[in-house]
């Protein structure tokens, strides 16, 4: 079985694939101070709840945008699962061309989304990932990653609005029934939700206009189901896209030999 670890800015997602389907997915908050042993306490107990034997894990791969968390995640794989994880970086065989100025600065999550979407749905396409930041990633008809755009995530916008305006409450995002708010709460919800729908629709329209042919529009990320209710923009809702990208990348690359090196990467 394959363990994939998607370490984002907000959450670390652990998922196990048995070669046919995902058999479990779990989320822990991202922390650069959590130790390998703490990961083990949390994750191995979650394995037990679904009857999954940790000894069945034969491979692992890590995609990470928080470099400080890598050392302990790698240690967890080595010490508790007895596997050496692949690290999703530019040195692996991705099977695609990247048409950006500096591939080394490209976030692993963005490239993984492009890889998975191209393999599952074919290009040309635009992947909109609703995460801590909202990213727009473009793959052309040849399967080449062409770049994209990055916007603040909606929860970052909520935090900024609350901090900058003392009298405005902090709230969770939700779809309001109408655009015209007749009180502060509904007005904020309208601005956050419908304003963000407008941002996504407008940016995708501009990106699509620069492409040779109409792309498929793919939505992924934790808030994708919510925002897909407010627009007809998306052709596909793909919640596991980044995890699938890690799975496809692991399939393309040989498993490394187990290392017992204590040194930080």
The CA-based angle 186-172-193, given to 5 degrees, is 55
Q: Binding site annotation covers 12? A: yes
Task: State how far Cα 263 lies from the chain centre.
Answer: 28
State the Cα–Cα distance between residues 15 and 246, nearest whole angstrom.
10
Q: Binding site annotation covers 23? A: no
Q: Binding site annotation covers 49? A: no
Q: Binding site annotation covers 185? A: no
Is residue 93 among the annotated active site residues? no
Q: Binding site annotation covers 189? A: no
Q: Which of 32, 37, 101, 109 is catalytic?
A: 109
Question: What does DSSP assign to residue 55?
Answer: G
Q: Binding site annotation covers 184? A: yes
Question: What does DSSP assign to residue 80?
Answer: I
Q: Binding site annotation covers 37? A: no
What count of other Cβ atoms lies within 10 Å of the Cβ of residue 262? 8
Nearest Cα residue to 4 out of 58, 75, 51: 58
Half-sphere exposure of 128 (CA within 13 A, CB side): 30
Q: Binding site annotation covers 182? A: no
Q: Binding site annotation covers 240? A: no
Q: Binding site annotation covers 153? A: no
Q: Binding site annotation covers 6? A: yes
Residues 6+ apart with CB under 8 A from 63: 4, 5, 6, 7, 88, 108, 109, 112, 242, 245, 246
Q: Binding site annotation covers 9? A: yes
Residues 6+ apart with CB under 8 A from 17: 1, 2, 4, 23, 247
Binding residues for ATP: 6-13, 132
Q: Which residues are catalytic?
A: 109
Binding residues: 6-13, 107-110, 129, 132, 184
Binding residues for substrate: 107-110, 184
Binding residues for K(+): 129
């Amino acid at each position: 079985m394959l363990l994939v670890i998607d370490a984002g800015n907000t959450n670390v997602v652990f998922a196990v694939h048995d070669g046919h389907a995902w058999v479990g997915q779990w989320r822990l908050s991202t922390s650069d101070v959590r130790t390998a042993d703490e990961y083990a306490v949390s994750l191995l107990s979650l394995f037990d709840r679904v009857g999954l034997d940790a000894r069945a894990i034969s491979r692992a791969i890590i995609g990470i945008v928080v470099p400080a968390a890598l050392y302990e995640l790698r240690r967890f794989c080595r010490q508790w699962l007895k596997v050496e994880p692949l690290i999703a970086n530019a040195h692996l065989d991705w099977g695609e061309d990247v048409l950006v100025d500096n591939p080394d600065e490209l976030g692993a999550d963005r490239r993984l989304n492009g890889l998975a979407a191209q393999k599952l749905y074919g290009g040309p396409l635009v992947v909109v990932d609703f995460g801590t930041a909202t990213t727009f990633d473009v793959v052309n008809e040849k399967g080449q990653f062409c770049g994209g755009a990055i916007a603040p995530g909606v929860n970052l916008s909520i935090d900024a609005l609350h901090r900058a305006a003392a009298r405005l409450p902090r709230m969770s995002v939700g779809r309001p029934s109408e655009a015209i708010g007749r009180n502060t709460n509904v007005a904020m919800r309208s601005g956050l939700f419908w304003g963000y729908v407008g941002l996504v629709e407008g940016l995708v329209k501009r990106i699509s206009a620069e492409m040779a042919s109409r792309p498929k529009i793919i939505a992924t990320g934790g808030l994708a189901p919510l925002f897909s209710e407010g627009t007809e923009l998306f052709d596909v809702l793909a919640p596991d896209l980044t995890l699938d990208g890690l799975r496809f990348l692991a399939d393309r690359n040989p498993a490394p030999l187990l290392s017992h090196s204590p040194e930080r990467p």
